[in-house]
Amino acid sequence: MKLKITRSKQRALRRKKEYIKTFPERMRYRRLRLKRSLLLSLLRTLESPKRLILSLGGITAVSAGAVAIALFIIGSQYLAVSFNDKVIGYVKDEAEYNAVLEQAKQSISREYGDAEVVLEADVQLRREFIPVKDDVTPLVDEDVKGILEETSSVLANAWFVRVDDNVRVKVATEDDAKALTEAIEARFAPADPKAEKAFFEKIDYEAAQTRISELKTVDEAVEVLLSGGVQQELYTVQEGDTAWDVGQAQGLSQEQLAEANPGLDLESLYPGDELKLKVITPFVHYQTKGIEEGFEPIPFEVIEEKAGTLYEGQSRTKTEGVQGERYVTRDVTRVNGEVTEAAELASSVTKEPSAKVVQIGTKKRYGATGRLGRPLNSYTLTQAYRGGGHSGLDMAAPTGTPIYAADGGIVSFAGSSGSYGNYITINHGNGMTTSYGHCNSINVRSGQTVAKGQQIGTVGSTGRSTGPHLHFEVTVGGSYVNPANYI
C-alpha cells in the first residue's frame, strides 16, 4: 500500500532530513519520525471504517499536532471522473477537471481546422467526490478526447456553405468558408485579365452547429462542390465486354453509361478502356470566358505513293512527316475548366508542316503465302538435295498421283524441258520459285495464276527418269535451295 502525499509535502520532508544530517538534532528528528509513523498507521485505518473503529483506542495516544496534520490530508479529497460507470481518472478539483477537458477540446479543435468545439450536455463526464485512495491516477486529456470522439458527442460551431440555398458542405471557420470560392476561382483562373467570370449558382454561408466529424477541410470541400459529392468509380473494359454487359453488371442503363462517359463511343470498346460508372453533376459551376492564345501543332498530311518494288500489302515510309505550328487566338468559354465553346478569332502559321510519304506496294504476290506446302500428299524420298549435285528432291509416287502447287503464284513455264520431261515452274512473286519435273500430265499453262494446294499435274516418269517420281526444286533469289528446309 502506498499513501498519496502531495509533492510539496514530500519535498518538505526531504529538506528536513537533509537539515538533520547537517545539524544533528537527533532527538528532534526522532520525535518527528514517531509522529509520522503514528500518522501513517492512523491513515491506513481510515481506509476502512471498520479498522477505524478498531483503532480508535490508539488515536488517543497521538498528540494534538499529529491529528491536525491527519485531518489536513483527509481533507484533500479527489474527484473521481467516470464515464459509463467506469472511473477514468482523478482530479483534485473542478478547476483541474475543466483544464483537462479544455485540453481535450483544444486537441480536437486542432484536428478539425481550429473549429470551435462544443460538447453535448447529456454526455458530460460524471464527477463524484471521493476520499483519498491508493494509486490515484490522474485524468489524462487524451483519454477524455478518445471518449468524446467515440461517443461523437463533439459538436462544432461551424459554417454551412449553401449553394442556391442548399447546404452542400460544412467547414470549421468563416475564413475556410470564404476560401472555398477563392480556391475554385484560383483553380480555373483564366489567363485573360479581362475574362468574364461568374458562378452559375448563388453561394453563401451561415453559422450553425454540426457534428465535428462532418467538417471538411477547404481542399475536401472544394472537391465536394466540384464533384457533386459523388466519388467517381471506374471500370476497366475486359476482353469480350460490351457496354451492355457492363451496364447490366453495374446496374446502369445505356443512357446513364453514355451520360457518364461523354465523348466515348460505347459501340466500340476496347480492352483496357476505362468506363466511368458515376454521372458527375457538380454542385458549383464556375464559368470563365476570355481570350486564349498560344502555339499549337499543325498535323502533317500522309501521302501514299504506289511502289512497284514492294509487294501488295507491304508499305514503307519514304519521308517522315514533320508537324507544323501555328499561333491561334480564340475566345474560349470554360465551365469548371472544361471548354464548352471556342471561337477562333485569328491564327497565323509559324511553321508549315511537311507531309509524310508512304510507299504502298503494288507488286502482285499471286496469292503466295511465303510458306510452302507439300507438292504430294504421300511419297518416298529417293534422292535428297545436294548443292551443286542434285538440284531438288526426288519424291517417288505412283504414276497419276496429283501434284499440288506448293504455294500460290503464276505459272512461268509449263511444257517439255529436256531431261526434266514435262516440267512446270511457278513464280511465287516473293523472290521464290518452285519447279516440278518428270510429270505424267500438266494441268496448267504458262501465265496462269494458281493457288496454293491447287492441282497442277500428275506424277510420271517423262524425261531422264528411271521410274515414276516428282523432281521438286525450290529457288530463292534465283539460287537453288534445299526444298526439305521449306516444306
Taking the least distance from each CB to Zn ion, the nearer of 429 and 460 is 460
Q: CB atoms < 10 A from the CB of 212, how many? A: 25
In a 3-state reduction of DSSP, which class is residue 353?
A: coil
| Grid cell listed for 309 | 518494288
| Grid cell listed for 176 | 475556410
One-letter amino acid for residue 272 of the chain: G
Taking the least distance from each CB to Zn ion, the nearer of 428 and 471 is 471
Of 302, 285, 396, the residue nearest 336 (C-alpha): 285
Q: Which stretch binds Zn ion (CB under 5 A): 190-198, 261-269, 444-452, 464-472?
A: 464-472
Q: How far is CA 89 from the centre of its chain?
A: 46
List alpha helices for 23-150, DSSP H. 26-46, 49-59, 64-75, 94-111, 141-150
Q: CB atoms < 10 A from the CB of 169, how many? A: 26
| Grid cell listed for 208 | 450553425
For the CB of residue 392, give the shortest distance to Zn ion in the complex, in Å: 5
Taking the least distance from each CB to Zn ion, the nearer of 205 and 423 is 423
For the CB of residue 444, give the shortest distance to Zn ion in the complex, in Å: 21
Q: Which stretch binds Zn ion (CB under 5 A): 19-27, 37-45, 114-122, 463-471?
A: 463-471
DSSP 201-257: S-EEEEEEEEEGGG---HHHHHHHHHHTTPPP-EEEPPTT--HHHHHHHHT--HHHH
For the CB of residue 409, give the shortest distance to Zn ion in the complex, in Å: 21
Helix axes 64-75, 26-46, angle to 10 degrees: 50
Count, residues near Zn ion per rule CB under 5 A: 2
Distance, in Å, from the CA atom of 182 to the CA atom of 201, rounded to the nearest integer, reads: 15
Q: Which stretch binds Zn ion (CB under 5 A): 160-168, 307-315, 349-357, 392-400?
A: 392-400
Distance, in Å, from the CA atom of 255 to the CA atom of 432, rounded to the nearest integer, reads: 57
Taking the least distance from each CB to Zn ion, the nearer of 45 and 391 is 391
292 near Zn ion (CB under 5 A): no
For the CB of residue 385, give the shortest distance to Zn ion in the complex, in Å: 9
For the CB of residue 467, give the shortest distance to Zn ion in the complex, in Å: 11
Distance, in Å, from the CA atom of 91 to the CA atom of 429, rounded to the nearest integer, reads: 101
Kindly write out the interface string for residues 93-112 of this chain, putting x where it contacts Zn ion by CB under 5 A and - elsewhere. --------------------
> Cell 497565323 maps to which residue?
348
394 near Zn ion (CB under 5 A): yes
| Grid cell listed for 242 | 460490351
Q: Which stretch binds Zn ion (CB under 5 A): 49-57, 304-312, 346-354, 391-399?
A: 391-399
471 near Zn ion (CB under 5 A): yes
168 near Zn ion (CB under 5 A): no
Q: Please provide the distance, in angstroms rounded to a whole number, between the alpha carbons at the two ends of the chain.
A: 101
Distance, in Å, from the CA atom of 124 to the CA atom of 411, rounded to the nearest integer, reads: 103
Q: Which stretch binds Zn ion (CB under 5 A): 47-55, 147-155, 386-394, 473-481?
A: 386-394
In a 3-state reduction of DSSP, which class is residue 193?
A: coil
Taking the least distance from each CB to Zn ion, the nearer of 168 and 471 is 471
230 within 8 A of 185, measured Cβ to Cβ: no
Taking the least distance from each CB to Zn ion, the nearer of 353 and 463 is 463
Distance, in Å, from the CA atom of 160 to the CA atom of 173, rounded to the nearest integer, reads: 10
For the CB of residue 383, give the shortest distance to Zn ion in the complex, in Å: 6
Q: Which stretch binds Zn ion (CB under 5 A): 262-270, 288-296, 331-339, 393-401?
A: 393-401
For the CB of residue 469, give the shortest distance to Zn ion in the complex, in Å: 7
Kindly write out the interface string for residues 200-219 of this chain, putting x where it contacts Zn ion by CB under 5 A and - elsewhere. --------------------
For the CB of residue 485, give the shortest distance to Zn ion in the complex, in Å: 17
Taking the least distance from each CB to Zn ion, the nearer of 145 and 471 is 471
Q: Where are the beta strands (DSSP E) in 299-392?
A: 302-311, 315-319, 324-335, 338-351, 356-363, 380-383
Closest CB to Zn ion belongs to which residue? 471
Q: Which stretch binds Zn ion (CB under 5 A): 57-65, 284-292, 358-366, 394-402?
A: 394-402
Taking the least distance from each CB to Zn ion, the nearer of 253 and 380 is 380
For the CB of residue 395, give the shortest distance to Zn ion in the complex, in Å: 9
Q: Which stretch binds Zn ion (CB under 5 A): 44-52, 143-151, 387-395, 442-450?
A: 387-395
In a 3-state reduction of DSSP, which class is residue 298?
A: strand
One-letter amino acid for residue 402 of the chain: P
Taking the least distance from each CB to Zn ion, the nearer of 176 and 394 is 394
For the CB of residue 438, give the shortest distance to Zn ion in the complex, in Å: 8
473 near Zn ion (CB under 5 A): no
For the CB of residue 440, give the shortest distance to Zn ion in the complex, in Å: 15
Taking the least distance from each CB to Zn ion, the nearer of 145 and 469 is 469
For the CB of residue 300, give the shortest distance to Zn ion in the complex, in Å: 56
Q: CB atoms < 10 A from the CB of 392, how many? A: 25
Residues 6+ apart with CB under 8 A from 442: 414, 415, 422, 424, 456, 457
Taking the least distance from each CB to Zn ion, the nearer of 334 and 471 is 471
- Judged by the rule CB under 5 A, the positions of this chain that interact with Zn ion are 394, 471
